[in-house]
Structure 1
Amino acid sequence: MNSAKETVLINRPLTEVISDYYQLTKPGITMSVLVSMLVGYILGSGADINFSVLIHALIGTYLIAAGTGAHNQFIERVSDKLMKRTAKRPLPDHRIDSKSGMIFSLTLIFSGLLYLILLVNPVAGAVSLVTALIYLGIYTPMKKVSPINIAVGAIPGALPPVGGWAAATGNISEPGMWLLFGIMFFWQVPHVLSIAWLCKDDYSSAGLKMLPKKDEEGYKTLFWSMICVLSLFPVTLALFQLNIAGIIFLVFGMLFALGFMAYTIKFGLERTKDNAKKMMFASIAYLPLVWIAVFLDRFISI
């Protein structure tokens, strides 16, 4: 980095510096984690929601999720510089130096872990720690090794509702939390595959293996996407049959899964970037719509 740019960065307004650190936390993903944790907490609480514990769970989860996102960007700062979609992130663009990014991310992770253990319960803290460890220690480095990383990455991506349920109950043995895990796991695989198909050239230039091997025609991508989308139906039904969610959730959950499946089939019929983009938007719409159905079902039924 040349001295002129260094001078500009040193003299930047504080609001720009704060904005860069905020972007380092992957705010979109962090918000998704919080909403998914909230769903798990509400369903795990049953008829008696402890709002004081909920607030603490949200704060602790935010800290550790934001820190995990920031540390992921610290680890991937070199490969991020090689991709158009990530080259302007704060670390590869040198708006934040690597050491500061590392200290910032680790501070958030450990403060969030301590917060959850002390003010929520140790089980919720343990779930969040396992989530961060799998995401940073296994999924992130595996992206350069094997496309299996997508399934591995779906595990920490699906754990937030488990963490929320654990925050409410102090255990991880109840079937409801693992059915919520299933919804997020089976949603995440086709979601990531659609993004990988759209950005395959970008990923390839950075040495990231985000699509099945030897899948130029996209048949493997379609196969795994369809398997996961179809799996959403029995998981949705199971939540209803076990009386964890009611008829409102069942009806809307099935309809949203049908919509997601329709765009997955459309991608299968013609595996173009345009259809991959439609499948991606269908996946982006699916999860918040399902969580809205959960909230409607939960509070209308009271």
Structure 2
Amino acid sequence: MVATLAAGLMVGCGTDSSAEATKSGDAGKATETKSDLSGKITASGSTALLPLVKQAATEFQDQNKSVTIDVSGGGSGTGLKQVAEGSVTVGMSDVESGKDYADKGLVDHQVVVAPFVLVTNKDVNVTNLTKEQAGKIFTGEISNWKDVGGKDEKITIVGRPESSGSRKLVKALVLPADKDFAKDAIAQDSTGAVRQTVQQTAGSIGYIDAPYITPEINVLKFENVEYSKDNIFNGTYKLFAFEHMYTKGEPDKVTKAFLDYIMSDAFQSKTVEELKFIPVNKMKK
């Protein structure tokens, strides 16, 4: 995947002018330059991207007091549908909009890279799955952990509904081309709910993005490769996606400033990494 990206400058942030001495020798007072940005931004979609966009919104509103940003989840499909309809300003998605939205005038803004991981309940003693094994588990062909080197225990699959970009990503990267998730898989409306269900359900397996990892669940190796940023950079860990923020047409002034803020060096190098995402400019072209 090729991402042509440029780090934007932080737009509209309040700054202090430097104090200058007057001719009489008295120190001039510093004056504050206020942001001239105002307006409202609404964003919906990917729950994987949700914590990052919420954090960006908080920081951006702190610096631009006349801007209001409302961020909600609902899944990538919801975000794409709502931005195409014009009911939200930004649609957040784990996957590209695709042919269904080709004529809707959507403009793609790739903002970060989100790693995904396969996770199990703490009672599962399997530490690695091959792509073939994981695919057979998620399709229901393998239904007991003993068939992949674990103990004799029924496998419970926990995932997301069909509108989820995370589900589409895992389906594309893990499942055989002509297969779908098992019909008895538990579908949860958010990534956080998947994590909680896996944590509470013996023998369960699910998929979440890396910012949702907690010590209460096991993170599996995939194809004998442990999840790490270095393993994504060197191409050995394959479960990741470029995260998209779509606008309907070119963004207006305030939305562009918000997107530029997310793409700024300061936000990408600090907040993005703190939240366990990967800055897009660190991916190999």
Q: Which has the higher contact order (CA 8 A, sep 6+)?
A: 2
Larger Rg: 2
Which structure shows the higher strand fraction? 2
TM-score normalized by the length of structure 1: 0.22
TM-score normalized by the length of structure 2: 0.23
Which structure shows the higher helix fraction? 1
